[in-house]
Amino acid sequence: MIGKWKRAICFLITSLLWLNIPQKIEASVSVSASSAILVEQDSGRILYEKDAFTKRRIASITKIMTAILAIESGKLDETVKVSERAVRAEGSSIFLKPGEKIKLEDLVYGLMLRSGNDAAVAIAEHVGGSIEGFVYLMNKKAEEIGMSNTHFANPHGLDDHEDHYSTAYDMALLTRYAMMNNKYREISGTKIYRAPNPDESWDRIWRNKNRLLTEMYEYCTGGKTGYTKRAKRTLVTTAEKDGMNLIAVTLNGPDDWNDHIQMYEMAFNLYKLAEILPKGTVKGVRNSFYKNNLYLNHRVVFPVTEEEKDKVRVEYKLIKPDKKWGKECGVPYIAGKAIVYLDEKIVSSQPIYYRIPEKKDESFFDFFRNIFTSVIGVKSNG
């Protein structure tokens, strides 16, 4: 029962990340890719897009999903026995041998840095019980994080199924979700990895295929390359400069390295992160009951251009205090929300919490009863 609630809460939180994304700002960017998108990671704001919602084949950027599922499985320290089916996978390989034993974590590095299709199959069989079982998990996760125009049919992206596709937007969704995981960020941003090879006198050394990360763009922090004859070149990368984190995706991009650099340079030059609301006590609340007792549990930042700074405003919507409330009891844990507008469009909505003074005689049950009451909206007039 607890597991079901946990999954539901995670799904709700993830869904809220992409609510009310404003329209993109048109910018003088020309990319070679058939589909492209640039997103600011923390807010989810789309800074540039070109045909980003069209379904296309995605090749090996599929492996972002394979990697995050392997990481979230909690099995990275387990040993995987490589099957014949894994070794027979076509295309790019880390040259696994049938029957060899290798740590799941090492397989994920081989998957992301060298795009090993054999690693993808080995991961799928170990985490999902079979390729088919793992594909079910892939599509389940895609549904949970809102990838509504995506369907996975394999763990590697090879052109062996007709119903394996996604969009630039959905792949940005997936990457934003994956980048919240510390282990994924670490693996995605690794330039060289040494994997133990107990059956040989030498270790495996894998160099990342992502040239933006290894040589071309100093602000690149990670990503995944892809190519098949039908999908052509696909690429997902991430970059960070002056505290602003960006995600770029291109599908069928013959000049994808330069496409990504061009999008990044446009955004870093045009946009700056503005702190709209600081973490901590909410100031400017006039209601005497709530004054100095409300807080945000994290700050709200948003990328804006110089021209947009004066178009940002914040509105507080609070539950009307009940006469029966006391300062230390009865008040919902979530007292309202802070809504951020840009040019009169909602760009962020954050819960506002009531700071309840500590009471030694308050029980564990009473505390969570307050939380539950606020969540389901009891005594709330919105």
Give per-residue pLDDT as tens, 246-298.
Answer: 999 999 999 999 999 999 999 999 999 999 999 999 987 888 888 888 999 98
pLDDT tier at 366, thresholds 50, 70, 90: low
pLDDT tier at 29, thresholds 50, 70, 90: confident
Angstrom distance (rounded) from CA 328 to CA 330: 7
Quick one: pLDDT at residue 333?
A: 86
219: tokens are: 């602000």
So which residues are the catalytic ones? 60, 63, 115
Give per-residue pLDDT as tens, 109-127.
Answer: 999 999 999 999 999 999 9
CA 170 to chain centre: 10
Give the rounded percent of residues in the chain with a pLDDT score beyond 90.
74
Q: Which of 230, 268, 336 is nearest to 47 (CA)?
A: 268
Residue numbers belonging to the annotated binding site: 224
What average pLDDT does this structure show over 221-241? 98
Mean pLDDT score of the chain, rounded to an integer? 88
Q: Which of 227, 253, 252 is nearest to 62 (CA)?
A: 227
Find out whether 39 and 246 touch, Cβ atoms under 8 Å. Answer: yes
CATH numeric code, 18-270: 3.40.710.10
Residue owning tokens 């052509």: 232
Topology of the domain covering 274-376: Spermidine Synthase; Chain: A, domain 2 (2.30.140)
- Residue 147: exposure state from Cβ atoms within 10 A (0-12, 13-18, ≥19): buried
User: Lowest mean pLDDT: which of 8-22, 215-229, 312-326?
Assistant: 8-22
Find out whether 15 and 146 touch, Cβ atoms under 8 Å. Answer: yes
- Mutual angle of helices 131-144 and 117-128, in 10-degree steps: 80
Q: What is the 3-state secondary structure (H, E, C) of 76-88?
A: CCCEEECCHHHHC
Torsions phi, psi for 135 (to 5 deg) = -60, -40
Residue 360 has pLDDT above 70, yes or no: no
Quick one: pLDDT at residue 321?
A: 87
What average pLDDT does this structure show over 300-325? 90
Give per-residue pLDDT as tens, 32-61.
Answer: 999 999 999 999 999 999 999 999 999 999
Torsions phi, psi for 239 (to 5 deg) = -150, 155
Q: Which residues pair with 250 in a beta bridge?
A: 36, 235
355: tokens are: 């700071």
Distances (CA, A) of 237 to 8, 88, 258, 359: 29, 29, 12, 49
Quick one: pLDDT at residue 9?
A: 38
Residue 13 has pLDDT above 50, yes or no: no
Q: Domain-by-domain residue ranges, the chain? A: 18-270, 274-376
Quick one: pLDDT at residue 6?
A: 41
Residue numbers belonging to the annotated binding site for substrate: 224
Find out whether 364 and 342 touch, Cβ atoms under 8 Å. Answer: no
Find out whether 234 and 58 touch, Cβ atoms under 8 Å. Answer: yes
Give per-residue pLDDT as tens, 79-108.
Answer: 999 999 999 999 999 999 999 999 999 999
Find out whether 135 and 158 touch, Cβ atoms under 8 Å. Answer: no
Find out whether 234 and 59 touch, Cβ atoms under 8 Å. Answer: yes
